[in-house]
């Protein structure tokens, strides 16, 4: 098949292009092993147009700010080379609309990849009440969803598919804790609870800060190791917190490995409940003990692991409950069984079959 994948270059403070990060890079990269795939990344932040390749994958990144996106869109609309069979859009509704219009012009199938509730994004607007998200969901030939909640609430389970947020086995892997601490220049004998990622309020980082503070008040000798883009509302300048900044993607596995326990303290919200966090799979791939909150983000996407982790699950938005779970896990160091199909080759192989069936079912 000839596939065009249009995705967002920057997401969750990561660069899909330079860091080879996430589904907007890894999924088309693995599809390119058996198909002709072009990756077109839409850049909302810089003004640089970048061409490149990664093995068989052709890559183009075009910025919005200097209208390079529009120029390439018009060029694509008038292409006369090999026909495009499928156009996959991922990232937001505006990328989705561009891909949908292009697919109609080129008579290609349109696949809408929904890895979050795009209508909950801050930049989503409804001009004159028009629901672009709903329009794209309705008109897509097929939809891919990052979580079971998104599929059940927005998709057609018999037609659509789960495209999990996979991880790179060469990147997220077991690393010796002493080696990781040496690389990050961390003390060898400190007991660390870790969290790395976005710190918006619904991520529950404030609850984690409070829980660690409670444990320290009770005599537990622990510190909180944090990394990610800091939110102004968070006070990290206090005893018991070590902030590593926005950890480079290459160093994230070392940051995970440096911790005694990793925390995923998410709160309940429509946005978070619909998601599928990478952090849980990454922690399991790195063989680190986990404490999490009882949210659909975890339980719906990793039911077996949630059952195994039941004694170490806390009530959302409840720091004392989180402190209790942390205390128990710091003592037990329980590892959950690794789920099947968390790596991109396996995930892509399953979606390939679905894409082919979808393409020829409607031909």
Structural domain for 278, as ranges:
177-332
**pLDDT attached to residue 82:** 83
Distance separating alpha carbons of residues 137 and 81, to the nearest angstrom: 29
Task: Judge contact between 18 and 336, C-beta under 8 A.
Answer: no
**Tokens 């989180």 -> residue:** 322
Task: Judge contact between 301 and 276, C-beta under 8 A.
Answer: yes
Whether 31 and 156 map to the same domain: the answer is yes
Kindly tell me if the per-residue pLDDT of 30 is higher than 90: yes
Q: Average of pLDDT values for 139-149?
A: 94
SS3 85: coil
Whether 313 and 183 map to the same domain: the answer is yes
Whether residue 246 lies inside any domain: the answer is yes
Long-range contacts formed by 75-82: CB under 8 A, 24+ apart: 76/4, 76/102, 76/106, 77/102, 77/105, 77/106, 79/106, 82/2, 82/36
Write the Ramachandran bin of 172: left for phi over 0, alpha for psi from -120 to 50, otherwise beta.
beta
**pLDDT attached to residue 31:** 97
Kindly tell me if the per-residue pLDDT of 100 is higher than 90: yes
Is the Cα torsion angle 255, 18, 31, 147 positive or negative in sign? positive
Whether residue 171 lies inside any domain: the answer is no
Number of domains in the chain: 2
Kindly report the backbone phi and psi dihedral angles of residue 344, in degrees, each rounded to the nearest multiple of 5, phi listed first: -60, -40
Strand order of the sheet with strand 192-196? 241-243, 223-227, 192-196, 261-264, 290-293, 313-314
Q: Among candidates 164, 105, 196, 153, which has minimal Cα distance to 347?
A: 164
Confidence (pTM)? 0.90
**pLDDT attached to residue 76:** 92
Q: Among candidates 273, 269, 290, which has minimal Cα distance to 208?
A: 290
Distance separating alpha carbons of residues 350 and 354, to the nearest angstrom: 7
Whether residue 190 lies inside any domain: the answer is yes
**pLDDT attached to residue 311:** 97
Whether 244 and 321 map to the same domain: the answer is yes
Whether 207 and 140 map to the same domain: the answer is no
Q: Which is higher by pLDDT, 355 or 234?
A: 234
What are the tens digits of pLDDT across the range 78-95? 877 789 999 999 999 999
Distance separating alpha carbons of residues 36 and 216, to the nearest angstrom: 55
What are the tens digits of pLDDT across the range 102-134? 999 999 999 999 998 888 887 777 877 889 999
Q: Average of pLDDT values for 348-357?
A: 88
**pLDDT attached to residue 361:** 63
Task: Judge contact between 106 and 83, C-beta under 8 A.
Answer: yes
Whether residue 172 lies inside any domain: the answer is no
**pLDDT attached to residue 122:** 74
Average pLDDT over the chain, rounded to an integer:
93
Whether 327 and 186 map to the same domain: the answer is yes
DSSP string of 280-343, one letter each residue: HHHHHHTT--EEEES-HHHHTT-HHHHHHTGGGEE-TT-HHHHHHHHHHHHHH-PPPPPPSS-B
**pLDDT attached to residue 341:** 82
Whether 151 and 108 map to the same domain: the answer is yes
Kindly tell me if the per-residue pLDDT of 353 is higher than 90: no
Ranked by mean pLDDT, the top range of 31-35, 81-85, 295-299 is 31-35
Q: CATH code at 237?
A: 3.40.50.2000
Q: Average of pLDDT values for 303-307?
A: 92
Considering the chain, what percentage of its residues have pLDDT values greater than 90? 82
Whether 261 and 292 map to the same domain: the answer is yes
pLDDT grade for 241, boundaries at 50, 70 and 90:
very high
Task: Judge contact between 54 and 33, C-beta under 8 A.
Answer: no
Kindly tell me if the per-residue pLDDT of 359 is higher than 70: no
What are the tens digits of pLDDT across the range 151-193? 999 999 889 999 999 999 889 999 999 999 999 999 999 999 9
């Amino acid at each position: 098949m000839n596939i065009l994948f249009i995705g967002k270059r920057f997401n969750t403070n990561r660069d899909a292009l330079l860091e080879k990060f996430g589904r907007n890079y890894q999924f088309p990269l693995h599809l390119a092993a058996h198909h002709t795939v072009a990756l077109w990344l839409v850049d909302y932040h810089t003004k640089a147009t970048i061409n490149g390749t990664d093995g068989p994958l052709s890559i183009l990144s075009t910025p919005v700010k200097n209208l390079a996106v529009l120029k390439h869109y018009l060029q694509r609309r008038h292409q006369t080379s090999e026909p495009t069979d499928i156009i996959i859009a991922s990232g937001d509704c505006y990328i989705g609309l561009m891909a949908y219009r292009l697919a109609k012009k080129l008579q290609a199938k349109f696949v809408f990849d929904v890895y979050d509730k795009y209508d909950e994004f801050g930049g989503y607007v409804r001009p004159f009440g028009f629901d672009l998200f709903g329009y794209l969901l309705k008109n897509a030939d097929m939809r891919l969803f990052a979580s079971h909640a998104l599929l059940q609430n927005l998709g057609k389970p018999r037609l659509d598919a789960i495209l999990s947020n996979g991880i790179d086995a060469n990147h997220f892997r077991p690393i010796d804790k002493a080696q990781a601490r040496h690389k990050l220049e961390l003390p060898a004998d400190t007991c660390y609870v870790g969290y790395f990622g976005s710190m918006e309020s619904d991520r529950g980082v404030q609850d984690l800060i409070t829980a660690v503070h409670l444990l320290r008040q009770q005599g537990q000798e622990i510190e909180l190791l944090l990394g990610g883009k800091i939110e102004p509302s968070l006070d990290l300048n206090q005893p018991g917190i070590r902030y590593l900044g926005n950890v480079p993607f290459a160093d994230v596995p070392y940051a995970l490995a440096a911790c005694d326990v990793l925390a995923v303290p998410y709160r309940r919200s429509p946005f978070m409940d619909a998601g599928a966090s990478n952090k849980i799979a990454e922690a399991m791939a790195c063989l680190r003990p986990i404490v999490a909150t009882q949210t659909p983000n975890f339980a719906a996407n990793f039911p077996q692991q949630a059952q195994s982790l039941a004694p170490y699950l806390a009530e959302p938005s409840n720091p004392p409950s989180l402190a209790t779970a942390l205390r128990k896990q710091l003592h037990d160091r329980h590892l959950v069984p690794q789920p099947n199909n968390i790596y991109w080759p396996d995930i892509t192989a399953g979606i390939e079959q679905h894409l082919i069936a979808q393409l020829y079912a409607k031909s």
